[in-house]
Chain A
Amino acid sequence: MTEIGLNHILFVSIALFFIGVYGFLTRRNMIMMLMSIELILNSVNLNFIAFNKYLWANKMDGLFFTIFIIAIAAAEAAVAIAIIINLYRSHRSIDVEDASDLKF
């Protein structure tokens, strides 16, 4: 077995990213969409960590960025869930297809 290299991690990251995108585009449940977004964010985090480790191992930029993204993602999740709750209260549904009042 060879050592796990940068490419391996990037493959995982890409797979994670597209799974997230696929989920975001196909799931009608807003909670599921929110979770898909988390997947996308985490694939990005994975990229940052991998590049930091393999290319600039003596620097900390990627790590800090990742921590930053995790913090933002927590805030984003809080806001998104608040929106979803409000939507549920007004529409009695969290199906994204029902939330189309603002079209033309």
Chain B
Amino acid sequence: MFDKLTLSLIPLLPLLSFLMLGLFGRKVFKNFSGIIGTGALLVSAGLSLSTAYNYFFVSGKVDGVYQKITALKISWLEFSPGVSIDIGILLDPISVMMLVVVTFVSLMVHIYSLGYMKGEERFSTYYAFLGLFTFSMLGLVMSSNIFQIYIFWELVGVSSFLLIGYYFDKPSAVAAAKKAFIVTRFADLGFLIGILVLSFNAHTLDFETLIQRLTDPNSEYMRSAIAPAFLGFSSLTWGLMLVFIGGAGKSAMFPLHIWLPDAMEGPTPVSALIHAATMVVAGVFLVGRLFPVFAISCPGALELVAYTGALSALFAAIIACTQTDIKRVLAYSTMSQIGYMMFALGVSGYGNEDGLGYMASMFHLFTHAMFKALLFLGAGAVIHFVHSNEMNDMGGLRKHMPITHITFLIACLAIAGVPPLAGFFSKEEILLAAFHHNKLIYGIALITSGITAFYMFRLYFNIFWSKEFHSHGEHHGEGGIVMMLPLILLSLGAAFAGFIPFSQLVTSDGKPFETVLHLSFSVAPVLLGLAGIFIALRLYKTQNDIANKISSSLSGFYSSAYHKFYIDEVYLFITHKVIFNLLGKPAAWFDKTIVDGFINRLGSSSEKISEETKTLQSGQVQQYAAYFLAGAIGLGIIFIYVLTLK
């Protein structure tokens, strides 16, 4: 079946690379730390590919159903019989798929960084952090225990923080790292409470048992879980909503998305790995992991997932149209696509054909990882070439960077949903699932897909066409084989990943089902996508004023979208004005005057009392003797006249 050692090596090799490079990288492995990190990842990626092959085509399927296999289980902390934190490896279709995605994209980024980060002073530290991240992400997707997933969840948060703040001498990068950490940490509080609520109800932390207990309507656990508990919601709904808040924080869903655009301060390959392909889909993965509980026991919480996803998708797409920093456009695009995955889960049912949305979400996660990593790495190559993130500094680069140009175009077509590239298939399934379930969300998704095509090609034309590129100073070409190879491999993924029969492999209940593509259904989204591309072509292929005219005629809306709908300002207002003035200041006043005041008064009054009484100690022996005598006489009087009178 599955070799425990092989499976454990998949996450442990990146960890080993982290430890080696982190402890000795600067001195011992100075010149070949990149090779070590990449080598470890290469082995790890090979192992996960063979695991995936083994799972999907050899031994994962029993009686036509993909099994959940607990390949490894070590009891780590046992609180009481039944409730324990285990460290284990759970293999099921989504975790195996994520293994492939994470190791593949991470390997691409490792190779790419050999060229992109060459000459950096903290080169080996960078590779150490990449190893730490890959280890944590692999641990996260293989977790068999909800608490184990939380541990790795925090670890990816830390490695994301370290990598965003990689250029720690840049104040904006430091601020962005802090922002990302605090916002996601705030959301993780919800996750932690959610874990406690769920495990309290199910009396277990183990995923399989938890899902089994919370989906069986006749179990005793369910009766207590679905009883109304607080504000009219059952404790199960609360638990799932809180877990979703954690997922929404990591996955940059509205309104917890504010950290993602700022996270682009990190090195571009890091953005490709963490903030596009892997870590930010952890929220989707989490909802997918607990999907049976969401779908069977608590459709209300699933509605929340659906609407949050749809709102984020549209919202981010609109903002992406106005941004001029190419990495920020991609960041909002990521947020929008993750919104797609979220609402696809939200509109899905459980089992067989009903689980179309679930399958589509995982499919889109897979294809998105390919083309979004490709887009970021391409953008990295462009930034490497131009030394700027701003669109205005670019233009006409197609002749200077032919390979980047072609691969970027493939990725743009894929994300715009042009057949037969990868994005088309997964997006089609999502739209189909939404169409059958919720027309409002379907409408939002359709509009968003048009806008997506528009802003991606706005980006594309602005970088590669628009105006002639005036090279000033020496340029060093596209970046050599190590930077081009990942682009080419990923563009193959972006082009052909759509042909993977996902409905045969990754489904909500493990049973494969057939999907049919209705050509008539695909007409609307494809036409909308092409229309978006065409508008972008008219506006941005050559330099003209139409775009400026349109934006000035929409001045109010345009500028509010340009300012990201003032969400950051709202947060600042809430934290600085509302929380600071209404909670912080009264609390500080209470602390200073009441708590501190009480202690200070205690101190000063005892000081005063002792100041008064110390004069009694005069050093005059005779005075003491007089007091003693008076006391003795007093006691004598008391003993003789008071105590004997009775």
User: CB within 8 Å of B: which of A10-61?
Assistant: 21, 24-26, 33
User: Would you call A96 and B620 a contact (CB within 8 A)?
Assistant: yes
1/0 per residue B612-646: CB within 8 Å of A?
00100111111001100100000000000000000
Q: Is the CB of B617 within 8 A of A103?
A: yes
Does any Cβ of B come within 8 Å of A4's Cβ? no
Tell me, in angstroms, the Cα distance from A21 to B632 when the chains sit together: 13
Residues from chain B with a CB closer than 8 A to the CB of A102 are: 619
C-alpha spacing A97/B479, complex, angstroms: 97
Q: Name the A residues within 8 Å of B619 (CB-CB).
A: 99-103
Q: Are A21 and B629 closer than 8 Å at their CB atoms? A: yes
Q: Is the CB of B626 within 8 A of A100?
A: no
Task: Name the one of A21, A26, A99, A104 contacting B621, with C-beta atoms under 8 angstroms.
Answer: A99
Sample 25 A-B pairs with CB under 8 A, ordered by A number.
A21-B629, A24-B622, A24-B625, A25-B622, A25-B625, A25-B626, A25-B629, A26-B622, A33-B622, A96-B620, A96-B621, A96-B622, A97-B620, A99-B619, A99-B621, A100-B618, A100-B619, A100-B620, A101-B619, A102-B619, A103-B617, A103-B618, A103-B619, A104-B614, A104-B617
- Which residues of chain A are near B625, meaning CB under 8 Å? 24-25
- Complex formed: what's the CA distance from A34 to B617 in Å? 22
Q: Which residue of B lies closest to A97 (CB)?
A: B620
Residues of A within 8 A of B620 (CB): 96-97, 100
Give the residues from 75 to 104 in chain A that come closer than 8 angstroms, CB to CB, to chain B.
96-97, 99-104
Using Cβ atoms and an 8 Å threshold, which residues of chain B touch A100? 618-620
Q: In whole angstroms, what is the CA distance A97 to B621 when docked?
A: 8
CA distance A68 to B421 in the complex (A): 119
- By Cβ-Cβ distance, the 8 closest A-B pairs, closest first, are A100-B619, A103-B619, A104-B614, A104-B617, A103-B617, A25-B622, A25-B626, A96-B621
Residues of A within 8 A of B629 (CB): 21, 25
A25 to chain B, nearest CB (A): 5
Determine the distance from Cα of A101 to Cα of B621 in the docked complex, in whole angstroms: 11
Residues of B within 8 A of A104 (CB): 614, 617
With a CB–CB cut-off of 8 A, which chain A residues contact B621? 96, 99
In the complex, what residue of chain A is closest to B615 when comparing beta carbons? A104
Nearest chain A CB to B615's CB is how many angstroms away? 8
Give Cα A24–Cα B614 distance, bound, in whole angstroms.
24
Docked pose: A102 CA to B621 CA in angstroms: 11
Whole-angstrom distance between the alpha carbons of A25 and B630 in the complex?
12
Q: Name which residue of chain B comes closest to A103, CB basis.
A: B619
B280 CB, nearest partner CB in chain A, Å:
70
In the complex formed, the residue of B with least CB distance to A96 is B621
Closest Cβ of chain B to A22, distance in Å, is: 10
- The residue on A at minimum CB distance from B621 is A96
**How far does the Cβ of B608 sit from chain A's closest Cβ, in whole Å?**
15
Whole-angstrom distance between the alpha carbons of A21 and B625 in the complex? 9
A21 to B622, CA, bound (A): 10
In the complex, per-residue mask of B404-418: 1 if CB is within 8 Å of any chain A CB, else 0 = 000000000000000
**B residues within 8 A CB of A99?**
619, 621
By a CB distance below 8 angstroms, the chain B residues around A24 are 622, 625
A49 to B621, CA, bound (A): 31
- With a cutoff of 8 Å between Cβ atoms, the chain A residues found around residue B622 in the complex are 24-26, 33, 96
Distance of A40 Cα from B622 Cα, bound (Å): 15
Q: How far is the CA of A25 from the CA of B621 in the complex (A)?
A: 9
Restricting to B320-348, which residues have a CB under 8 Å from any CB of A? none
A102 to B625, CA, bound (A): 16
Contact mask for chain B residues 594-619; partner A; CB cutoff 8 A; 1 contact, 0 none: 00000000000000000000100111
> Closest CB of chain B to A5's CB: distance in Å?
23
Q: Which residues of B contact A33 (CB under 8 A)?
A: 622
- On chain B, the residues within 8 Å of A101 by CB distance are 619
Contact partners of A25 in chain B: CB under 8 A: 622, 625-626, 629
Q: Report the separation of the CA atoms of residues A101 and B617 in the bound assembly, to the nearest whole angstrom.
A: 11
Question: Complex formed: what's the CA distance from A26 to B623 in Å?
Answer: 10
The interface residues of chain A lying within 8 Å CB-to-CB of B617 are: 103-104
- Once the chains are docked, how many angstroms separate the CA of A102 from the CA of B614? 12
- Cα A101 to Cα B618 in complex, Å, equals 10
Least CB distance, B606 to chain A, in whole angstroms: 16
Q: Which of B283-342 touch A at CB < 8 Å?
A: none
CB distance from A14 to the nearest CB of B (A): 13
- Give the complex CA separation of A95 and B626 in angstroms: 17
The residue on A at minimum CB distance from B613 is A104
Chain A nearest CB, measured from B617 CB (Å): 5
List the A side residues contacting B614 at CB < 8 Å. Answer: 104
A104 to B620 CA separation, bound complex (whole angstroms): 12
> With A and B bound together, what is the CA distance between A4 and B621 in angstroms?
39
A24 (CB) vs chain B CBs: closest residue:
B625
Collect the chain B residues with CB atoms within 8 Å of residue A26's CB.
Answer: 622
Query: Closest Cβ of chain A: how far from B101's Cβ, in Å?
Result: 78
Interchain nearest-CB distance for A16 vs B (Å)? 16
Distance (whole angstroms) from the CB of B613 to the closest CB of chain A: 10
A85–B625 CA distance with the chains assembled, in angstroms: 22
**Beta-carbon nearest neighbor of A102 in chain B:** B619
Which residue of the partner chain A has the closest CB to B614? A104
Interface-centre pick from A33, A99, A103 (highest chain B CB count, 10 A): A103
What string of 1s and 0s marks CB contacts (under 8 Å) between B371-404 and chain A?
Answer: 0000000000000000000000000000000000
Tell me the complex Cα distance, A21–B621, Å.
13
Question: What 5 new A-B contacts, CB under 8 Å, besides A100-B619, A102-B619?
Answer: A24-B622, A25-B622, A25-B626, A96-B620, A100-B620
The CA-CA distance from A25 to B629 in the complex, in Å, is 10
Residues of B within 8 A of A103 (CB): 617-619
A96 to B626, CA, bound (A): 14
B248 to chain A, nearest CB (A): 66
CA distance A97 to B614 in the complex (A): 18
CA distance A35 to B195 in the complex (A): 86
- Closest residue of B by beta carbon distance from A30: B621
Contacts of B618 in A (CB 8 A): 100, 103
Closest chain B residue to A26 by CB distance? B622
B619 to chain A, nearest CB (A): 3
Tell which of A24, A96, A104 has the most Cβ of chain B within 10 Å.
A104
- Bound CA–CA A100/B622 (angstroms): 11
> Considering residues B614, B617, B619, which has the most beta carbons from chain A within 10 angstroms of its beta carbon?
B619
Least CB separation from B623: chain A residue: A25
Task: Give bound CA distance, A96 to B617, whole Å.
Answer: 15
CB of A93, distance to nearest CB on chain B (Å): 14
Q: What's the Cα separation between A103 and B621 when bound, in Å?
A: 10
Residue of B nearest to A27 (CB): B622
Instruction: Return the chain B residue nearest A104 by Cβ.
Output: B614
Residue of A25, A26, A101, A102 with highest tally of chain B CB at under 10 A:
A25
Chain B contacts for A96, CB-based, 8 A: 620-622
